[in-house]
Amino acid sequence: MATLGKSLSRTLVDLTDLLLKEKDPERKKQLRDQHRELAALLQKLVDESVARDTIEYEKATAAVTEANDALKDAKKDLGQVAGAIKKVAKALDLVAKVAAKLG
Amino acid sequence: MDTVLLRRWFLAALFPLLGCGLSAVQRGAVTEFSRATATLGATTSAELLRMRAKTIDMNERRLRLGAPTADQPDHTDLDENFDPAVVLVRMQAAEAVQDFGVLLLALVEASEEKPLEEASDRFVQSVRRLGSENRRLSDEQLEAVGKAVQAVGGLIVEAKRARAVKEIVGSSREQVARLLELLEGDLDPGANRLATQYLLTTERLLVAADGGLEGARPQAVEAMRLGMEERNRRDAVLAPAAQAVGRMRAAHARLAEVLEHDEVSLDDVRAFGASVRGLADAARMLR
């Protein structure tokens, strides 16, 4: 389908170029009619694809958002390692103070 | 116990429990991929908005040219397939890709050195405050243990970082690939999706402007200029953007392999980075 779309798009652009260069009014009219027909056909294909993809986008975006949440959690987890070591150090600090008082 | 020996023993005892961090090659690949992904997400999002605005603009000009009814756009639907809901869903997708790059980079570059250093200092000071009867370590040995605590903390961080990056890049592979496939379709003027809508509107404007040129109407000249400008932009920005998204799909697959084996060629990741840099330059120039 993408290949057909590519060739239709290319043909439409080529038709525009021909039409812009053409001087003869009768041939210009023929090209204009062909351009209109081809554009209508291509428009139909686009309308169908865009509507179908919108549902697919919603599904795929939700899945990637979940991956992003996992990345946020992982980063938080790294910070927690340093935090855990700090907590141990703080606990030792308190032990040292208690030990000093008892001593 | 000898200070160096003490430190080595401490690290050696813990090392098998930690696993390994990312290698230099893996870190470099993730960094390059993440930066390019973030830039591509932002560029794609901006292009979607721009295509919508220009589609409305071009249809408005076609209406002003007063072409025959069959050649006129629907005046109640100037944005055609660029309905706000349609564009919003795609912008959210592009932003999710952008966030993926930014968050991956943040995870790889996050530095925990300072808090670990502070924790180590605090540990040393705490033990120093203990009464001499409770202390079995000299100041020198204490410093060594403090440094080992810091080093072990660093190893834990690196191991966790590596595990998280590998797991997330691996498990998100299919979903990210699907999203990129969809975005690539919308940026490719030949894929029957949004970029094709933009192409259709541009070509219809050029034909309408040509019809109005016979009377040398200034509006027709203006419309022709706009149509040609949008054509140039389509070739210079949209087609390369679609290619860059395609390369990102290949790079993402390669990245997952690099994280697994560390021996795979990084050509795909580098090609993706280079194409995004070129794309960002083109988009800036034609803005």
pLDDT recorded at residue B263? 59
* Mean predicted confidence (pLDDT) in B229-248: 89
pLDDT of residue A80 exceeding 90, the answer is no
- Residue B42 located in a structural domain: yes
What's the pLDDT at A14?
96
Range of the domain at B80: 28-119+172-285
Number of separate domains in chain B: 1
Contact B192 A46 (CB under 8 A): yes
Nearest CA in chain A to B168: A67
Cβ atoms of B187 and B243 within 8 Å: the answer is: no
Q: Residue B168 — very low, low, confident or very high, per pLDDT cuts 50/70/90? A: confident
Q: Which of B89, B97, B204 sits opposite A64 (nearest CB)?
A: B97
A76 touches chain B (CB under 8 A): no
A80 contacts chain B (CB < 8 A) = no
Distance CA B283, CA B281 (A): 6
Q: Which residue of A has its CA nearest to B172?
A: A67
Amino acid making up residue B8: R
Among B119, B179, B199, select the one facing A86 at the smallest CB separation. B119
Contact A50 B206 (CB under 8 A): no
Q: Are B20 and B156 in contact (CB under 8 A)?
A: no
For residue A77, pLDDT over 50 is answered with yes
Q: Which residues contact B14 (CB under 8 A, 6 or more apart)?
A: B152, B155
Closest CA to B233 of B58, B115, B114: B58
Dihedral sign for Cα B154, B155, B157, B161, please. Answer: positive
Whether residue B119 and residue A54 make contact (CB cut-off 8 A), yes or no, is no
Cβ of B192 within 8 Å of Cβ of A42? The answer is: yes
Helix axes B139-171, B173-187, angle to 10 degrees: 50
Residue of B nearest to A80 (CA): B157
| Nearest residue in A to B118, CA atom | A86
φ, ψ of residue B6 to 5 degrees: the values are -60, -45
Interface contact A47, partner B, CB < 8 A: yes
Contacts of A93 in chain B (CB under 8 A): 122, 125-126, 129
Does B167 map to a domain? no
Contact (CB<8Å) B107/A100: no
Q: By C-alpha distance, which of B184, B208, B189 is closest to B199? A: B189
Q: Which A positions 10-29 lie with beta carbon below 8 A of chain B?
A: 10, 12-13, 15-16, 19-20
Mean pLDDT value across residues B103-116? 79
Interface size between A and B, measured as CB pairs under 8 A: 211
- CB contacts of A98 in chain B (<8 Å) are none
* pLDDT single digits (tens) B255-274: 888 787 765 566 777 777 77
Classify residue B214: in a domain, yes or no: yes
User: According to the model, what pLDDT value does residue B132 have?
Assistant: 65
Is residue A96 scored above 90 in pLDDT?
no
User: Which tokens is B277 given?
Assistant: 């840099």
Distance of residue B201 Cα from the nearest chain A Cα, in angstroms: 9
Res. A33: pLDDT tops 60:
yes
User: DSSP letter string over B29-57?
Assistant: HHHHHHHHHHHHHHHHHHHHHHHHHHHHH
Structure confidence at residue A1 (pLDDT):
44
* Residue of chain B nearest A40, judged by CA positions: B200
- Evaluate whether residue B157 is within a structural domain: no
- CB contact under 8 Å between B122 and A90, yes or no, is yes
Tell me whether residue B10 is in a domain.
no
Residue B228 placed within a domain = yes
User: In this complex, is the C-beta atom of A55 within 8 Å of any C-beta atom belonging to chain B?
Assistant: no
DSSP B262: S
* pLDDT at site B147: 76
- Do residues B124 and B141 make contact, with C-beta atoms less than 8 angstroms apart? no
| Whether pLDDT at B32 is above 70 | yes
Residue B60 has pLDDT above 90, yes or no: yes
Question: For the segment B63-79, what is each residue's pLDDT rounded down to a tens digit?
Answer: 998 877 777 899 999 99
pLDDT tens profile A35-61? 999 999 999 999 999 999 988 888 888
